[in-house]
A and B are shown apart, each in its own frame.
Chain A
Amino acid sequence: MGEGQYRLGEEAVERVNALDNDAVAAVEGDDEDAFHVAFEQLLELIRTEGEHLHDDDLEASDVIVPPADITFVEAAKDFTGDGLIPD
C-alpha cells in the first residue's frame, strides 16, 4: 500500500482475509462500489490493528497490499482467486 510495513495478529489476519475475499467477490461481480468499501475497510483494519514497523526494520512481508488509490481496473488484476491472502 506504499505506507510501510505492518505486523498483524492472527485474529486481525482472519478479518483482513474475510475482507480480502469480499473484495474478490466484488471484483468478480463487477461491483465497483462494493470493492472500494471492502478495500477501504481492509486498509483501515491494517492501519488500526497492525503494529507499524520501523522504517529501518528489515523483514520480509507475507503479503503486499496494493496502494489506497487503486483503480477498479487495477484491482481486477490483484483481487482474483483467493485474493491477496491465500485461503
Chain B
Amino acid sequence: MAGMAGRMSTVVKSKISRLLDRAEDPGETLDYSYQKQLESLQNVKKGIADVVTAKKRLGMQASKLEQSVVKLDTQARQAMSAGNEELARTALERKQLAQTELQGLDQQVAELQSQQEKLTESEKRLRSKIEAFRTKKEVIKAQYSAADAQVRISEAATGVGEEMADVGLAMQRAVDKTEDMRARASAVEELEAAGTFEDLTQLGSGSDDIDRELAEIGAGGAVDDELAKLKSELGTGSAAPQGELESGGEQK
C-alpha cells in the first residue's frame, strides 16, 4: 500500500464520497460543498495572518537586539578607553549573547518568510480551484442527469479537496514552526526582562546572576578575541597593570 501521501488522497476521496452519498439533491450537495470550501479558504487566510504576525514580532525583537549590539559595542569601547577592562568584558559578553540570539532570530524570520510565500501561493491556487468549482457546479446543476452528475461532482470536489488537504498540511507545518518561534520569542523576551541586554550604566558593579548566565552561554573565547581586538584598536594607551596588555602593545 502507498505511504502517507497516498493515504491522504484516499481520505480526501472517501470524505467527499460520503458527503455526496448523504445528499439526495446534488444541487444542494454542491452548494454545501462550496460553502465548506469558502470556510476553509477563510481559515487559510487566518493562518497566513498568524504567520505574518509572528514574523513581525520576531522582526521587532531582532531590531531591538541590533540596537543592543550597537550600544554594548559602544559601551565596551568606552569602558576600554577608560581602562576598565572588567566592564568592557562584561559588555562584550552581553554583545556576544545578543548576537547569537540575533542570528537565530534572523534565520527564523527568513524561514517564516518562505513559509508565508508558499502559503500565499497555495491560497491563490485554492482560490482558483474553488472559483472553478463554483462555475462547474452551476453547469452540473443546469445539465443535471443523475449518474453523470455524480461522477463529475466527485471529480470536481476531489480536485478542490486535495488542494485543500495540501494547503492544510502546509498550514499545519507553518503553525508548528510558528509555535517553536513563539517559544523562542518569549525566551528572548525573558532575557530582555532579566536585563541581559540592558544598559550597563544602569547596573551595579557585579551582578552575580548575570555573570552566571553568561558563563553558561560559553561565549568566552569569542569575547577574549574581541577584547584583544579592542585593545589593539585603542592602542591600549590607558594605564593597565596586567601583563596581558603588553602583548596588546606589540601590534604593528
Contacts and interface: CB of A to CB of B under 8 A. Distances in A.
Nearest to B124: A55
Contact of A66 (B5, B124, B158): B5
B132 A79 contact: no
A65 interface: yes
B112 to A, nearest CB: 13
A19 to B, nearest CB: 14
A29 interface: no
B122 A58 contact: no
Nearest to B135: A56
B166 A63 contact: no
Contacts of B5: 63-66, 78, 84
Given A2-B118, A55-B128, A67-B169, A60 B159 contact: yes
| Chain A contact residues: helix, strand, loop or mixed | loop
Interface in A6-60: 54-60
Interface stretch (B6-14, B58-66, B67-75, B91-99): B6-14
A86 B1 CA distance: 6
Contacts of A80: 3
Interface residues of B, number: 32
B155 interface: yes
Nearest to B127: A55
Contact of A61 (B3, B121, B129, B162): B162
A54 B122 CA distance: 13
Interface string B152-172: 000110111010011101100
Contacts of B4: 66, 77-78
B159 A64 contact: no
B197 interface: no
A30 B133 CA distance: 43
Given A55-B124, A56-B129, A81 B1 contact: yes
15 contacts: A2-B170, A4-B125, A55-B128, A58-B133, A58-B155, A63-B5, A63-B6, A63-B9, A67-B169, A77-B4, A78-B3, A81-B3, A82-B3, A84-B6, A86-B1
Given A55-B125, A58-B159, 10 more contacts: A54-B128, A59-B159, A60-B13, A61-B9, A63-B2, A64-B166, A67-B173, A80-B3, A84-B3, A86-B1
